[in-house]
Chains A and B, each alone.
Chain A
């Protein structure tokens, strides 16, 4: 790329003035004339047969337009809720899903009826009048018990609760490693179920125009094109008859990727009731129904030599799928493929088991599989170090993949593109003051105080992804990315991307790239996204830290095509040969004659005129699709310092250092923001958050923000951030993703710090969330 001015600069987010001053447009800011409001009636029980639904009183209530149950949608919606094969092709049992339950409810919150009314309040009042009679069935809540042969079934009539059971690599792959071992450490590691809790819950506004047979859906989504694909299919419409508009989106964290029952039902209601229909999710509905994350446990064994050389790992992932298989649920099995982390292993045996329970489905949640892998391997490496009385830093250094070994083919055949793990570790140790902290820790231990230092040398794979890897996993559609760059006659630049920001700052980052490439003012470039009626024919959405590494590159390539056409036209205008035209700083000039030049704007204007080279069509615009040759592999080191109150068990996070490497950085401020949010989310999982259901009845106990422990700014110390830069060889921008990195790294750092603090008591492992009550009980038991 040419000399840059904007790439790498801390450009203030263009979105912020709009969002901060209340001028954003979120789903609840939209309405249509004549809209009716929907309220869904949801099962209060985790598992039951529906005996009868009496809507008589509700139908007569003030303002009610109609009351609908499953049978009303029979002719309206076809097929089941899609569950993409994603990563685990061989599924044993995938329960059929209709967006509204007819005979059986399988989790608390499953929809059984819906009321349409003239106002939201009237719809809510009438919903309370619907009488549903249930026959309660036993709820399957515990994953381990659910796998036993005599267990009740999450779905009546199913043979068992096993959704998939896939062995990636059998025990034979690690046999040699375990035979060689001096030490073997084993642990069961839990991944607490967490709720995504985006600041803006979901919402759908749909308008079906019967005469034109056109459906417009406004909704809060990370993935508008996929929604168009799924909903048009289910409603028997062509994709061209459906337009999905996802305006400003107030967070998603993965929970707004997959289609939900309401995404089908609200458009279908609009077609049935012949008027626009609006539904906005409440906070409790959001915690109860938005797909949850994690919800897993792992049985792990690691073999090592007594000098700390890691040899082999055997791991099984047991994943609580919930009551249905989420569209991208099986993606979380990538935890198996990433279990080796930043280290070299002789052999890793990995298996994943997906288990149905009577809870809301799990689906990707910020990091999806990679935080679990990091947590697992970083915990296990610490356990080996503890066993061998080694410093956790030394065991890591000893086993790192080395800089000269990249591209490195890891145990599952994935190729890690680039890295320099020691460099990030060194910087993090320096920032945290590691040597001093270890001295301080020794001093405090003499006083009976528990200070712990936790290290997480994380890596991840992101930027989904190469067509060869992703098309089979999604059922045929490769997760490449598209872009269109349009230049108007007066030189305004419109950039369309198939990604969609739900807080990532694409409106800023992407124009930074284009501004440098075209050499035109940043303000002349506008990014547009989130509307399937604009831009390219398909977009792939935002998740898996893919927007820059795939979408950004597509934009850069489309921009390159615009420049190529501009060169041809400039050559014609300057009466020079095309190969003699140089484009820099926004100007085309003849090589060696900088005065013989045409500014980009002049060429853009000319492109709409009459004096074009032979065979050239008017206009200046281009489309590009980028199919990356590989995934990208960010990495870094996070270090947490925690002191545990010896009397109360309260874990106080005192210091947090994060040194991350996402290759070349387009906007350092946005990268820092992503690390902030991500790390806090990981810290929150480690210390606070957990979706709790009653283990017997399946009742959700954490349905409000009072009980669901989302931490606030008051609990998080200022994060100390820095970066190393190891460009990715996978794309010409040299970039990797950063959206999930913080979350991937953080929980391991915090829990390792807690375990380090409590190691004098003989406590080796602590599961998340590390609440004071839990730690106090563990410390009390250990002290006996």
Chain B
């Protein structure tokens, strides 16, 4: 389909992008990889008045480890994260997750910042960011992941605020991401991430609510010495997922429990 007409502006720096966003006002959108935004525009579900293209801001496309933290620039493509030796060394779970995003076309274009700012409930990085207490850095401030994801497609970003990087802790112990889906390129019906860090487990759930979920009840049970299969029973505590064509709420809760058990078990293997 043909999107509605819109203004287009290309930014060469974060500063310029921010100014352009201010200029166009609330109806402006940042264009990074475009793999979520453009389909929405083609269906006319999104009709932004303007797109600010940040693909030319090269400094946002980088990966580094500094002071025990892993910094992923907002414009870093999934394929770069997936193949990065730094990521594989410092936070291999992130590389694993990046390799599970979409298909080759999506991974070649889609970006870390785009996924975080889009805040789709089925996005994979937000789960990891939340469970590892990552920081979302913008051109204005640093936001803790737990304060960032507000609701479905809703974040605490201001209108002229741009995500510049996401800062994860280093964690290279046992880990696993299980993305349950029907087709290779699909979003998760339910996803579960498990990461052992500083002797304790961090467990995150994808697509079981409007925002990512940290399964603290599972983490606590494991901390107290529960076996994975026992602890995993708590994965659905407090969940109230919505149903869709792929899965009923009941099934999603069941999957949260089963996949949590499997993620922990497989991480330990």
Interface residues of A (CB under 8 A from B): 120-121, 124-125, 128, 282-284, 647-648, 650, 688, 692, 701-702, 704, 707, 709, 711-715, 771-773, 776-777
Hey, what's the 0/1 contact readout for B1-41 against A, CB within 8 Å counting as 1? 11011000000000000000000000000000000000000
Q: How far is the CA of A217 from the CA of B23 in the complex (A)?
A: 48
Known: A688-B182, A714-B184, A777-B251. 8 other contacts (CB 8 A): A120-B2, A124-B1, A283-B1, A648-B180, A688-B183, A707-B245, A711-B182, A714-B183
Q: Number of A-B pairs whose CB atoms are under 8 Å?
A: 52
Give residues of chain B (53-82) contacting chain A, Cβ–Cβ below 8 Å.
none
**With a CB–CB cut-off of 8 A, which chain B residues contact A709?**
182-183
The answer on a CB contact under 8 Å between A284 and B182 is no
The answer on a CB contact under 8 Å between B182 and A714 is no
CB distance from A746 to the nearest CB of B (A): 18
**With a CB–CB cut-off of 8 A, which chain B residues contact A128?**
44
The answer on a CB contact under 8 Å between A121 and B258 is no
Name which residue of chain A comes closest to B3, CB basis: A121
**With a CB–CB cut-off of 8 A, which chain B residues contact A121?**
2, 5
**With a CB–CB cut-off of 8 A, which chain A residues contact B245?**
692, 701-702, 707
**With a CB–CB cut-off of 8 A, which chain B residues contact A712?**
103, 183-185
CB distance from A116 to the nearest CB of B (A): 15
- Say whether B152 faces chain A, with CB atoms less than 8 Å apart: no
The answer on a CB contact under 8 Å between B1 and A284 is yes
**Between-chain CB contacts (< 8 Å), 25 pairs:** A120-B2, A121-B2, A121-B5, A124-B1, A124-B2, A128-B44, A283-B1, A284-B43, A647-B258, A648-B255, A688-B183, A701-B245, A704-B43, A709-B183, A711-B182, A711-B183, A712-B185, A714-B183, A715-B183, A715-B184, A771-B246, A772-B247, A773-B247, A776-B251, A777-B248
Q: How far is the CA of A715 from the CA of B103 in the complex (A)?
A: 13
Interface size of B as a range: 20 to 34
CB distance from B250 to the nearest CB of A (A): 8
Once A709-B183, A777-B251 are accepted as A-B contacts, the answer to whether A648 and B258 lie under 8 Å apart by CB is yes
Once A648-B258, A715-B183 are accepted as A-B contacts, the answer to whether A125 and B5 lie under 8 Å apart by CB is yes
**With a CB–CB cut-off of 8 A, which chain A residues contact B43?**
284, 704
Name which residue of chain B comes closest to A687, CB basis: B182
Q: How far is the CA of A151 from the CA of B261 in the complex (A)?
A: 49
**With a CB–CB cut-off of 8 A, which chain A residues contact B185?**
712, 714
Q: Which listed residue (B1, B44, B184, B248) contacts A773, Cβ 8 A?
A: B248
Name which residue of chain A comes closest to B254, CB basis: A776
Name which residue of chain B comes closest to A715, CB basis: B183
Name which residue of chain A comes closest to B1, CB basis: A282
Interface residues of B (CB under 8 A from A): 1-2, 4-5, 43-44, 103, 180, 182-185, 245-248, 251, 254-255, 258
Name which residue of chain B comes closest to A703, CB basis: B43
The answer on a CB contact under 8 Å between A715 and B182 is yes
**With a CB–CB cut-off of 8 A, which chain B residues contact A702?**
245
CB distance from B116 to the nearest CB of A (A): 21
**With a CB–CB cut-off of 8 A, which chain B residues contact A711?**
182-183
Of B182, B184, B247, most A-chain CB atoms within 10 Å: B182
Name which residue of chain B comes closest to A37, CB basis: B2
Q: How far is the CA of A780 from the CA of B248 in the complex (A)?
A: 14
CB distance from A115 to the nearest CB of B (A): 12
**With a CB–CB cut-off of 8 A, which chain A residues contact B254?**
776
Q: How far is the CA of A121 from the CA of B246 in the complex (A)?
A: 33
**With a CB–CB cut-off of 8 A, which chain A residues contact B182?**
688, 709, 711, 715, 771-772
Q: How far is the CA of A771 from the CA of B244 in the complex (A)?
A: 13
Name which residue of chain A comes closest to B103, CB basis: A712
Q: How far is the CA of A199 from the CA of B185 in the complex (A)?
A: 17
**With a CB–CB cut-off of 8 A, which chain B residues contact A688?**
182-183
**With a CB–CB cut-off of 8 A, which chain A residues contact B251?**
772-773, 776-777
CB distance from B174 to the nearest CB of A (A): 21
CB distance from A700 to the nearest CB of B (A): 11
**With a CB–CB cut-off of 8 A, which chain A residues contact B184?**
712-715
CB distance from B53 to the nearest CB of A (A): 19
Q: How far is the CA of A265 from the CA of B205 in the complex (A)?
A: 51
**With a CB–CB cut-off of 8 A, which chain B residues contact A648?**
180, 255, 258
Q: How far is the CA of A701 from the CA of B243 in the complex (A)?
A: 13
Q: How far is the CA of A359 from the CA of B4 in the complex (A)?
A: 29
Name which residue of chain B comes closest to A713, CB basis: B184
**With a CB–CB cut-off of 8 A, which chain A residues contact B247?**
772-773
Of B2, B43, B185, most A-chain CB atoms within 10 Å: B2
Q: How far is the CA of A702 from the CA of B245 in the complex (A)?
A: 9
CB distance from A692 to the nearest CB of B (A): 6
Q: How far is the CA of A282 from the CA of B1 in the complex (A)?
A: 6
Name which residue of chain A comes closest to B258, CB basis: A647
Name which residue of chain A comes closest to B243, CB basis: A773
**With a CB–CB cut-off of 8 A, which chain B residues contact A701?**
245
Closest 5 pairs (CB-CB, A-B): A714-B184, A124-B2, A773-B251, A121-B2, A647-B258
CB distance from B101 to the nearest CB of A (A): 14
**With a CB–CB cut-off of 8 A, which chain B residues contact A707?**
245
**With a CB–CB cut-off of 8 A, which chain B residues contact A692?**
245
CB distance from A36 to the nearest CB of B (A): 15
Q: How far is the CA of A771 from the CA of B243 in the complex (A)?
A: 14
Q: How far is the CA of A467 from the CA of B229 in the complex (A)?
A: 67
**With a CB–CB cut-off of 8 A, which chain A residues contact B5?**
121, 125
CB distance from B181 to the nearest CB of A (A): 10
CB distance from A395 to the nearest CB of B (A): 33
Q: How far is the CA of A773 from the CA of B5 in the complex (A)?
A: 41
The answer on a CB contact under 8 Å between A125 and B4 is yes
Q: Which listed residue (A704, A773, A777) contacts B246, Cβ 8 A?
A: A773
**With a CB–CB cut-off of 8 A, which chain B residues contact A282?**
1
Q: How far is the CA of A777 from the CA of B253 in the complex (A)?
A: 13
Q: How far is the CA of A714 from the CA of B183 in the complex (A)?
A: 7
**With a CB–CB cut-off of 8 A, which chain B residues contact A124?**
1-2
**With a CB–CB cut-off of 8 A, which chain A residues contact B246?**
771, 773
CB distance from A755 to the nearest CB of B (A): 20
Q: How far is the CA of A585 from the CA of B119 in the complex (A)?
A: 70
CB distance from B147 to the nearest CB of A (A): 30
CB distance from B176 to the nearest CB of A (A): 16
Name which residue of chain A comes closest to B42, CB basis: A282
CB distance from B118 to the nearest CB of A (A): 15
Q: How far is the CA of A688 from the CA of B183 in the complex (A)?
A: 9
Q: How far is the CA of A692 from the CA of B254 in the complex (A)?
A: 24
**With a CB–CB cut-off of 8 A, which chain B residues contact A777?**
248, 251
Q: How far is the CA of A284 from the CA of B255 in the complex (A)?
A: 31
**With a CB–CB cut-off of 8 A, which chain B residues contact A647?**
258
Q: How far is the CA of A282 from the CA of B200 in the complex (A)?
A: 51
Q: How far is the CA of A121 from the CA of B6 in the complex (A)?
A: 12
Q: How far is the CA of A772 from the CA of B246 in the complex (A)?
A: 9
Q: How far is the CA of A704 from the CA of B1 in the complex (A)?
A: 11
CB distance from A320 to the nearest CB of B (A): 19
CB distance from B246 to the nearest CB of A (A): 7
**With a CB–CB cut-off of 8 A, which chain A residues contact B258?**
647-648
Q: How far is the CA of A269 from the CA of B100 in the complex (A)?
A: 48
CB distance from A543 to the nearest CB of B (A): 29
CB distance from A223 to the nearest CB of B (A): 27
**With a CB–CB cut-off of 8 A, which chain B residues contact A773?**
246-248, 251
Q: How far is the CA of A711 from the CA of B5 in the complex (A)?
A: 33
**With a CB–CB cut-off of 8 A, which chain A residues contact B1?**
124, 282-284
**With a CB–CB cut-off of 8 A, which chain A residues contact B183?**
688, 709, 711-712, 714-715
**With a CB–CB cut-off of 8 A, which chain A residues contact B2?**
120-121, 124
Q: How far is the CA of A732 from the CA of B180 in the complex (A)?
A: 53
Q: How far is the CA of A120 from the CA of B5 in the complex (A)?
A: 12
Q: How far is the CA of A714 from the CA of B180 in the complex (A)?
A: 14
CB distance from A190 to the nearest CB of B (A): 17
CB distance from B1 to the nearest CB of A (A): 5
Q: How far is the CA of A714 from the CA of B100 in the complex (A)?
A: 13
CB distance from A130 to the nearest CB of B (A): 14
Q: How far is the CA of A124 from the CA of B47 in the complex (A)?
A: 13
**With a CB–CB cut-off of 8 A, which chain B residues contact A713?**
184
**With a CB–CB cut-off of 8 A, which chain A residues contact B44?**
128
Q: How far is the CA of A704 from the CA of B43 in the complex (A)?
A: 9
